[in-house]
Amino acid sequence: MKTLWAPWRMEYILGGKKGGCVFCMAMGEEDGLTLYKGRDVMVVMNKYPYINGHLLVAPVRHVSGLESLSMAEMAVVLKTVEQSIAVLKKVMRPDGFNVGLNLGKVAGAGVEEHLHFHIVPRWHGDVNALTVFADVRVIPEHIQATFNNLKPHFDTFAPETWA
């Protein structure tokens, strides 16, 4: 029998929530995963990604549903989703994307109290038998390396001026 070690998972399994909303905490501290902090929107890397480049785009304002966003916030959030995809296309050259949001716990929302879009780049052949048979994901690049590749592109963001 072969063993696949993933010690980083223990933090996720045992960690629970530390001190509140991860998005609100990301706005107030440097966590090493926040690519952009603006007046109305933020872009952070998913700490437990499905694959390299899995980004989360959230309004700065703590809201749980689309109906709570103003039209200006909605425009900035969606424009930031669009521009985040453009950065991922340029830097990582994926073959496609899964983009969406999970509203409510039963829909899979891990942080249901703070609305956020998932942007998941996809490549032909990025799902292999390990995922299907062993419930294991293989992520070929360390999250910090992905962050370092993406961060310079997000340093030029100014989504509040795009709407």
Which are the catalytic amino acids? 116
Q: Please report, in angstroms and rounded to a whole number, the separation of the first and last CA atoms in the chain.
A: 55
Q: CB under 8 Å to 120, separation ≥6 — which residues?
A: 49, 50, 51, 53, 54, 97, 98, 99
Q: List Cβ neighbours of 49 (8 Å cut-off, separation of 6 or more).
A: 120, 139, 143
Which residue in 18, 60, 57, 24 sits closest to 39, CA to CA?
A: 60
